[in-house]
Every structure is written in structure tokens, then in C-alpha cells.
Structure 1
Amino acid sequence: MRWPSLFPGLCFLLSLSGDVAQTPKATCPYCPSNASCVNSTHCTCNHGFVSGSKQTFFTFPLETCDDVNECLPPFSIYCGLNAECQNTEGSFHCRCVPGYELPSGDTEFKNLSENTCRNASAFRMDESKKELQRIIDQFETLLTNNTLWQMGKKHEVASTATSILRDVELDVLNTALKAPEQKVQKVQNSTVAIETRVVTDNCPEEKKTFSLEAQMNSLDIHCHDIVQGSMQGPSAVAFISYSSLGNIINASFFEETGEKRRVYLNSRVVSAAIGPKRNTSLSKFVTLTFQHVKMDPGNKKAFCVYWEGTEQGGHWSRDGCFLKHMNGSHTVCDCGHLSSFAVLMAFTAQEEDPVLAVITYVGLGLSLLCLLLAALTFLLCRAIQNTSTSLHLQLSLCLFLAHLLFLTAIDRTEPQALCALVAGALHYLYLAAFAWMLLEGLHLCLAARNLTVANYSGTNRLMKWLMFPVGYGVPAVIVAISAASHPHLYGTPDRCWLSLDQGFIWAFLGPVCAVFCVNLAFFLSVLWILKRKLSSLNSEVSTIQNTRMLTLKATFQLFILGCTWCLGVLQVGPAARAMAYLFTIINSLQGFFIFLVYCILSQQVRKQYQKWLGEIVKPKSESETLMLSSKFGPDSKPSEDK
């Protein structure tokens, strides 16, 4: 008798839990779990299972299909390095061993060919570093977006800066917390430098304070303020330094009464934040050390300030930040709070010496009068008009316009666009003046050489060819390049002049130093030529007189050719005050020296002055004589006494 007919009820009940894949249950014999019916006559175990009797086909109703462990012999599936075989009911899969993971985030894979297991900690650290790099690259893109910063109103710029500061802090903290195995991370490019620290447990006794550094600035913070009490899980602190953000949220956002026009940023903007819980009070002050942008600030006063976001955008504030120490290169501040604020330092502008201010204004006023008289003389006195006079005239005009603009507009810092225009005009006029000083020195050297070279010619032709391209063209090129590359550095909060940021002042000092060196070489060359000429015993009297006059002019030219600007370099140490007075007196009287040397000491000019004076006095004398003759003429008779 067949098994199905003997146990029809049992077959039906047990078959409910079976796996009938190929034939409807009504036509299948009894098959155990994980088995299938074949031709309605036999059972076979499904893939991944094997019968207890090891037979492929069976009809015994109590047969079982057991799971095959592919991870053990004789199969021993190999999943590759850093992976292991994991058996499942009827199948298997591969998975990475503890400490390793798949880049895709999946937890399992099928076979050796799909093995991409990598060190989980190294992978997270690598991803974390890439994420930090992405953050600073994104910030650099925002920072170089001139439309974003230059076209917006002041409160819009402040609001945008506040949002960016907070977003960067939040992204950096989240990135650091994603890879707590990476205790310290440092990332830097030309715009931003970041250092993060992660604390995964209680503060160790030997590490009560953490120090972070970015772009020569540093932060010292107590470990308990990072861990934030009884918070579970890792905590992080981020320290970020921004190279040029201070050019955007500059000292004009420092709105304390009486200070706005007298401060400037003298450090990079830095930002400090702790997470994951933010906006917390600190148990102890954090210490911030800033490297000065402008070294050796002298006796200037320092302020430690932070960026405070407001509904109107944001501004610099001193609340909760205090000056701890300052030297020539660094300033140390203590602050009682951290959040999304940026901490920086502001110095008051150097207090002006009232005596030097008076000397400057009186000297420049006298120079303006002398330069005007000299220019009129060079224009109207035909007897002295030549190449040399043309050089004197252009130098006088440039200095006159530069001094006039300096006296009237150097302190007019509002509106900012007008201040930048004034700074650019002063830059050009003073460079043009130095260019003409260079041409004056060249002409003087050629004139001295003319005393020793027989039939020397071509001096005037050379000077006429060089005059205007050098005198006005070269300064125009320098100013155009400077304005195109750094337009925002024209004008400062307290002066309409070139900013000291990024060494931009060398757009003026560089050409000035070059002119100074060349003119000093010309001057020494002239003195050497004149010394040899005066020592000659065979010189004619007229030549000796010309040589002595040229020597006198050369000595005065020392002041005219800008060589006294070297006194500005000597304003250091104990003699700084004396050098400052000498520098101010001599250079503010530059116009007076031009009038003295080229007009008063010129015999031809003196004769012209006498002629002009005679023409003014003569009509007056003739009119007085005419009046007297009309009153006491020959026909008039004195009255007789009665």
C-alpha cells in the first residue's frame, strides 16, 4: 500500500508547512519543509539544503531537509581579506569583519568579487577630511564672490557674514563628530585653516586644557567645557581662522561711540565653537592668542572683540572679552563665551602729535603758496623756459595738487567710494611727483656730465623723449594694476589712503624706494663729478662759477629729489621722535625748497621779478607825478598874502 493512502490526513496537515514549488499540493506526495515535489512521485531538498539520508530524491515521509553550512568544509566559502562567511538558512553571505566596512554602507555582499572591505576608522577619517576640505573650498568660493560682498548694503553684508560663520562652524563640528576616532584634524587652504579636537570620554587628568592652532593664532580651552558635563557620546571643539574675512567685516562694523574712526583690524578673524550642544556658558575663560597683521604696533591700545549676530546683521562687540597681554607681535585675550562668533582684535589708530599736526599743515600751506608762485614763474618767465623749466613745472603741479588734496580730503572717509577715489588720486599724484623727481635727478646728472664731456649733446632730446611717458605714464600703470587687483584696499576707516592689509602699501613704497635709491646714486655721481671739476687748476673762471652754482643746486636738490624720505625709515628706537619731526618739517617744505632753488637763487628769475616789480611800481610813480604836475603846473600861481 502506498504511503499517501495510509496517512492521508497526516500528509495533508504536514504538507501545509512544506515548500511545494513545482507541483500543486493536491497532487504532491508528502514532502518535508525546505523540499519540493518532483513529478508527483518523489521529493527533493531545495538548494542550500540536504536530506538526512543524503539522497537527492526520496519518498520516505519522515525524511528531513537540513541546512547546508557553506562556510564550513567541504565548502568553506572564501570571502576575501578582512571579510568572513556568514551562514544563513538555505544560503550564506559575506560580511566585513569588525573594524571594517563597505564604502557603500551595506552590511553584506555575495562573494569574493564584491569584497570592498576597508578599515572603518580610516575610511571615516578620510571621508571626514574630505568633508572638511569641501567646507573650506565652499567658503573660499563664497569669499571670492565679489558680487555678494560689494553690491550688498552694509546690513546685508553683516547678515550674510553671520550666516556663513554659523554654517561653517556647524558643518565643521558635525564633520568632526562623524569620525570620533580621529582625535585631531587639520585642514587648510589659502583662505581658511581649521583644527578640530574630539573628546570621547571623561577628561584625563593629564589633559585639562586643550590647545588648538590655525594660521599662527591659537585657542586654549578647558576640557570640561568641551565635554559639557554629563553629556553622553563624543564632544568636539573647532577652531577656524579666516585669512581675509577681515577685509569684508572690517573695523567699520565696530560701532562703539567715539571709536569707529580710530580703529582697524590687526589680526585675522577667528572662530571657536563646541558641540554637539552649542550656545553653552563656559566654566572658565578661553584664551585666544592672535598674531598681529601689522607688527610692532607701538603704544597703540588694543581691544579684544567678537562678532555678535543681530537682527540687523551683526557687528563687533567687546562684551565678555578682555585684553590679557600684548607685545609687538601678539595679543592675548580672555573671553567668557563661545558660539558662532568670530573673535578678533582691534587697535586704536596712533594718537597724533598736535605739534607735528601743526607743522604739517603750516608747512604744506607754505609749500602750496610757494609751488603756486613757482608754477606761475615757470609759465610766465620766457627767459628761463627750457627742458629744465618744464621738469620743474610738472613737479610743482603734481606736488601742488597732491598737497591740496591731502589737506582737504585725507580725513573724509565717508562715503567709502569717495574715500577710495581720493586715495587712488593721492596714490597717482604722489607717484607722479616722485617720477618727476626721478627725471629731475637724471637731468641734474646729465648736466653735471656736460661739464666734463666736450660737445656733449642729446641731453634735451633724451629728456623730451622720456618726460611725459615716465612722469605720467609709469604712475598711471602702477595705479591701474593696483586698483584692478585690490580695489577694496583703497581707503581705510581713518584715512583716505592705501590700506596696510596684504602689504598693499608697497604699491606706493616700492616705487618710492626705487626713486630714492636711483636719485641718491645720481646725487653722489654729481658730487663726484663736481669734486673732480673743482680740483682742476686749468678751469676757466666762468666754468668754476658754473660748477660752484651746480654744486649748490645739487645740495639743495637733496631735499627736492625726495632723498629726505629716508628719515621716515629711521623713526625707530630712542631717536624716533626726533626723526619724525625732521621728516615732517623737511618734507612738508618741499615746495618751499623748489621755489627757493629754482626761482629765488636763479639770477634770470630775479631779474624777471625786478622787471615785473618795476612795471608795477612805474605806473604808480607816473600817476603820482602827473597828479602833482597838474596841481602845481607852470600856469598856476600861488596866492598872495593880504
Structure 2
Amino acid sequence: MVTTDEPNQEWFHQKELECQDKLSKTNATFEAGRFCRGTFDGWLCWPDTPAGTSAQASCPEFKVGFDPSRFAHKDCSPDGSWFRHPDTNKTWSNYTTCINLDDFEWRRQVNLIYEFGYSISLLAILLSLALLGYFRSLKCARITIHMNLFASFAANNSLWLLWYRMVIGDPDVIQQNETGCVILHLVLHYFLLSNYAWMLCEGFYLHTVLVSAFISEHRLVKWLMAFGWIAPAFILLSYGTSRGLRGTEKQNMHCWMNETPYTNILVAPVCLSMMMNLLFLCNIVRVLFMKLRAPAGPQGGAPSRNILQAFRATLLLVPLLGMQYVLTPFKPEPGHPWEIVYEIVSAFTTSFQGLCVATLFCFFNGEVIAQVKRKYRTFFFSSRARSNSYTATQVSTHKLQFVRNGPPVPGEEKV
């Protein structure tokens, strides 16, 4: 049986000894007398094989991208020698059949969706940060929370793109399982948790502003800043410590990209954040209905337009953000007909989250739209005013010269 642990020198040596012992006990005799002697190629043990035939063996499980249910083969030439590859002139075992090309192709397409979605989301988030940072008049507690949410998304999307390019795109990095890719895995999931922490901050801020009207927004933002960036660090520390110290070698291989029971340490806070946001929003809806029905006055009156806009944006985002975690219990088994649909839906809902956040909290934000229009009008009309002023000045100068000097005499140059 092929082990699933990461191959090393000790593993190679142990498997080679087992192969030699196995071959010594199964000396085969063939009628023609010609056969290829059994050998260990570094991965699998190949038995004595008659000349002109092929030996088959199950594909190794430890190799990234290989399907253990498929078979590799090794050809024995008619002259009784193992087939040699024409490029290297070395004996060669054919493991190309171990890759399910159809499965490989659709998974590659899913990875492309992730990369495209994260790229578009990153551009949208960076543009949103530039707009919110440029217009000083937008500075307030709510916009500060938006900008922190955008910053966590920008970092998370950048790290996901780095992950797909440097880890997923390089099987050698996955196979070697070095410390660098594990650190990237941890940092990436820290910012992933910070996304949902800041979404919880968005919901909590709206709830607090509507329900507790006399709270200090400045103090509230300071507490939310601490929660949004520090709380994910404690969760990640618990996850990294538990998996690093208690996880088996099989669980901690391949840059920690495989799901394990320790993944629940990350999933649970995300689901809890979504549930709390839904509770906040339900209470916000109740308070809004009460305020909209209440008569105008010091104790009543409708909430501000800005609060209503932020509420609508948050109400639309909360069901979307974290959808892939809600659907995790319904994830189809590998090879199930619905697996492709599940992975594609998950790719879209995950990678385009940043674009949705930027669109609802910035691009569709009435305050931001008003500032952009005001800036455009100011720039456009000031440019026209300067142009008209220059033209008027030139006309006035010519008129003044005409009055002082009279009409120009033909052939005479006026200075």
C-alpha cells in the first residue's frame, strides 16, 4: 500500500527494501525466457514483466494532482529491457495517465474564475479607497469603518492572487510544503477573518447608532478598530497552534491547503459573525419601522438618509458574504455531478465579494456620487471660465489698442 505521507529519503529507502524483498520472493519464469526484471523507480514497485507487454500499478496517492483510482504503466520492450524515454535515454514509467485531464481542465477553469474575480474586486476596492480618501468632506465614523473594511478586502484579495500564482500554480511548492507557503496560508486567512470581522463592525455600528442615540461615535470607532484587527489574530493563533502542534503529518502536508477538522476554528467565527449581523439587521428593521411611524419631534422622526442608505447596502451584503461557508455542509462529494456547479458558484460568490462591497458602499453611495459630480462640475466650469476669461482679455486688449492708436494703416505693423 502506498503511503500518503510526504516522500523523503527514508521513505524511498524503506520502499526500495520492501520492493526488493517482494521481488526476491516472486521469481517468475516465462516461456520465451525474455522478460524485464522487476524494479523500484522511486515511487512504485514494478514486478517482473514479460517482453513486449506492460505492467500496471495504481497511481501513488502522495503525488499532487494524481488520481489514486487510475493506473500508471511501465512498458517492457520485445528485447526484454524496460522502455527508455527518447529525450533522456533513461528507463521511464508512464504516470501521465494518473491525471484525470477532464477533472484537471474544469478545476483549472474554476481557478481562473477565482483569479479574475479577485483581480476585478481588487481594482474596485483600490478605486473605492482612493475616492473615499480623496474627498475630505466624506470623513466620518461610518466612512472610516468602510475604509477599514475595504483595506481588509484589498489585502485579502492580493494575498489570494499571490496564493493562486505562487502556490496553486506551482506543484513543486505544494509538494515541498516549506514554511513560506504555510505562513502565506496563515496570513491569508487572517485577512479573510478580518473581512467578516469588519462586516460585523458595519452591522454593529448601524445597530448602535440607531438604538443607542447618545453613544460617542468617536469612542465606538476606536473599539471597532481594535476588534476588527485584533480579534482575527487571536482566532488565527488558536487555529495555527492547534493544527501545527496536534495535526498529523498527512493533515499538514501540501501547504495546509487541505481541509481538516481544525478548519472549523476558522469557519465557526465566520458563521457566528453572519448570524449576529442578521440579528442586528432584524432589530434595525424593527427600530426603523418604529421611527418611520413615530411623529416628528425630539423623541421621534425618521432616520437620516445616510443611515437608510448604509442599512440597505448592509442588508444586501450580509446574505452574500459568507455564502460559501453556509453551503459547506451541502458540499457534494468528489466526483458527484453537482460538484462542478458547487465549485463554480463558490468561486463567483467568493472572488467577487470585494466588487459587491465596493459597489454598494462606494459606487452606489449617494454622498460619493454627489462629491464626484461636484468635483466634475467645478473642474469643467472652472476650465471654461479660465478659457473665456483669456479670450475676453485678448479682445479687450485689441479694443484698447484700437482706441489708442486708431485703425492700422495698410502695410504698417502695430506692436
- Where in structure 2 are the equivalents of 1:261-280 lying within 5 Å? 278-280=25-27
Contact 1:370 1:591 in 2 (8 A): yes
Find the counterpart in structure 1 of residue 362 from structure 2.
Answer: 599
Verify: 1:360 aligned to 2:95, yes or no. no
**Correspondence for 1:510 among 253, 260, 264:** 264
d(CA) in 1 for partners of 2:389, 2:242: 66
Offset of residue 622 of structure 1: 4.7
d(CA) in 1 for partners of 2:226, 2:303: 28
Code of the residue aligned with 1:463 in structure 2: it is L
Find the counterpart in structure 1 of residue 280 from structure 2.
Answer: 526
Code of the residue aligned with 2:13 in structure 1: it is S
Deviations 1:240-295 (A, max 9, x none): xxxxxxxxxxxxxxxxxxxxxxxxxxxxxxx79659x5252399xxxxxxxxxxxx
Q: Given the superposition, is the C-alpha separation of residues 331 and 371 from structure 1 closer, same or farther in structure 2, using an over 3 Å criterion?
A: same
State the secondary structure of the residue aligned to 2:119.
helix
Find the counterpart in structure 2 of residue 320 from structure 1.
Answer: 55
Verify: 1:444 aligned to 2:203, yes or no. yes
- Where in structure 2 are the equivalents of 1:567-582 lying within 5 Å? 567=327, 569-572=329-332, 575-582=338-345
d(CA) in 2 for partners of 1:348, 1:562: 31
Find the counterpart in structure 1 of residue 83 from structure 2.
Answer: none
State the secondary structure of the residue aligned to 1:320.
strand
d(CA) in 2 for partners of 1:627, 1:454: 53
State the secondary structure of the residue aligned to 1:542.
coil
Code of the residue aligned with 2:56 in structure 1: it is C
d(CA) in 2 for partners of 1:563, 1:379: 30
Contact 2:58 2:68 in 1 (8 A): no
Contact 1:367 1:588 in 2 (8 A): yes
User: Identity over aligned residues, as a percent?
Assistant: 11
**Correspondence for 1:375 among 106, 129, 133:** 129
Find the counterpart in structure 2 of residue 281 from structure 1.
Answer: 28
Q: Given the superposition, is the C-alpha separation of residues 639 and 561 from structure 1 closer, same or farther in structure 2, using an over 3 Å criterion?
A: farther
Offset of residue 330 of structure 1: 9.2
**Correspondence for 1:421 among 157, 162, 180:** 180
Code of the residue aligned with 1:429 in structure 2: it is L
Code of the residue aligned with 2:207 in structure 1: it is A
Find the counterpart in structure 2 of residue 543 from structure 1.
Answer: 303
Offset of residue 437 of structure 1: 1.3
**Correspondence for 1:164 among 4, 7, 14:** 14
Q: Given the superposition, is the C-alpha separation of residues 591 and 480 from structure 1 closer, same or farther in structure 2, using an over 3 Å criterion?
A: same
Q: Given the superposition, is the C-alpha separation of residues 456 and 630 from structure 1 closer, same or farther in structure 2, using an over 3 Å criterion?
A: closer
Find the counterpart in structure 2 of residue 397 from structure 1.
Answer: 154
State the secondary structure of the residue aligned to 1:321.
strand
Code of the residue aligned with 1:161 in structure 2: it is W
Code of the residue aligned with 1:602 in structure 2: it is N
Code of the residue aligned with 2:113 in structure 1: it is I
Contact 2:239 2:266 in 1 (8 A): no
Offset of residue 372 of structure 1: 1.0
Find the counterpart in structure 2 of residue 554 from structure 1.
Answer: 314
Offset of residue 463 of structure 1: 1.7
Contact 1:558 1:564 in 2 (8 A): no
Find the counterpart in structure 2 of residue 467 from structure 1.
Answer: 228
d(CA) in 1 for partners of 2:312, 2:172: 46
Find the counterpart in structure 1 of residue 346 from structure 2.
Answer: 583
Contact 2:324 2:350 in 1 (8 A): yes
Code of the residue aligned with 1:384 in structure 2: it is K
Contact 1:571 1:577 in 2 (8 A): no
d(CA) in 2 for partners of 1:396, 1:427: 16
Contact 2:197 2:228 in 1 (8 A): no
d(CA) in 2 for partners of 1:418, 1:468: 28
Find the counterpart in structure 1 of residue 139 from structure 2.
Answer: 384
Offset of residue 530 of structure 1: 2.8
**Correspondence for 1:351 among 104, 110, 116:** 104
Find the counterpart in structure 2 of residue 309 from structure 1.
Answer: 40
Contact 1:424 1:479 in 2 (8 A): no
Contact 2:324 2:349 in 1 (8 A): yes
Q: Given the superposition, is the C-alpha separation of residues 623 and 454 from structure 1 closer, same or farther in structure 2, using an over 3 Å criterion?
A: closer
Deviations 1:566-607 (A, max 9, x none): 345544355444433332222221111121122123333233
- Where in structure 2 are the equivalents of 1:142-181 lying within 5 Å? 157-158=8-9, 160-165=10-15, 169=18
Contact 2:288 2:303 in 1 (8 A): no
Q: Given the superposition, is the C-alpha separation of residues 334 and 632 from structure 1 closer, same or farther in structure 2, using an over 3 Å criterion?
A: closer
Q: Given the superposition, is the C-alpha separation of residues 510 and 364 from structure 1 closer, same or farther in structure 2, using an over 3 Å criterion?
A: same
Offset of residue 623 of structure 1: 5.0
d(CA) in 2 for partners of 1:488, 1:622: 72
Offset of residue 516 of structure 1: 3.0
d(CA) in 2 for partners of 1:308, 1:468: 56
Offset of residue 444 of structure 1: 0.8
- Considering only CA atoms, is the larger Rg found in Structure 1 or Structure 2? 1
Whose RCO is larger (CA < 8 A, sep 6+)? 2
Contact 1:516 1:562 in 2 (8 A): yes
Extract unaligned runs of 5+ from structure 1: 1-143, 170-270, 284-306, 337-343
Q: Given the superposition, is the C-alpha separation of residues 481 and 626 from structure 1 closer, same or farther in structure 2, using an over 3 Å criterion?
A: farther
d(CA) in 2 for partners of 1:490, 1:631: 78
Q: Given the superposition, is the C-alpha separation of residues 605 and 417 from structure 1 closer, same or farther in structure 2, using an over 3 Å criterion?
A: farther
- Where in structure 2 are the equivalents of 1:471-482 lying within 5 Å? 471-472=232-233, 474-475=235-236, 478-479=239-240, 482=243
Contact 1:565 1:587 in 2 (8 A): no
d(CA) in 2 for partners of 1:491, 1:618: 62
Offset of residue 391 of structure 1: 3.0
Contact 1:420 1:490 in 2 (8 A): no
d(CA) in 1 for partners of 2:233, 2:398: 68
Offset of residue 411 of structure 1: 0.8
Code of the residue aligned with 1:377 in structure 2: it is L
d(CA) in 2 for partners of 1:333, 1:472: 45
Code of the residue aligned with 2:313 in structure 1: it is K
Q: Given the superposition, is the C-alpha separation of residues 621 and 551 from structure 1 closer, same or farther in structure 2, using an over 3 Å criterion?
A: same
Offset of residue 489 of structure 1: 6.7
Extract unaligned runs of 5+ from structure 2: 31-37, 47-53, 60-66, 75-94, 411-415
Contact 1:428 1:476 in 2 (8 A): no
Code of the residue aligned with 2:14 in structure 1: it is I
d(CA) in 2 for partners of 1:463, 1:554: 17
- Where in structure 2 are the equivalents of 1:220-299 lying within 5 Å? 278-281=25-28
Q: Given the superposition, is the C-alpha separation of residues 511 and 619 from structure 1 closer, same or farther in structure 2, using an over 3 Å criterion?
A: farther
Q: Given the superposition, is the C-alpha separation of residues 392 and 435 from structure 1 closer, same or farther in structure 2, using an over 3 Å criterion?
A: closer
Code of the residue aligned with 1:593 in structure 2: it is C
Code of the residue aligned with 1:280 in structure 2: it is N
Code of the residue aligned with 1:351 in structure 2: it is F
Higher share of residues assigned strand = 1
Find the counterpart in structure 2 of residue 302 from structure 1.
Answer: none
Deviations 1:190-246 (A, max 9, x none): xxxxxxxxxxxxxxxxxxxxxxxxxxxxxxxxxxxxxxxxxxxxxxxxxxxxxxxxx
Q: Normalization by structure 1: what TM-score?
A: 0.44
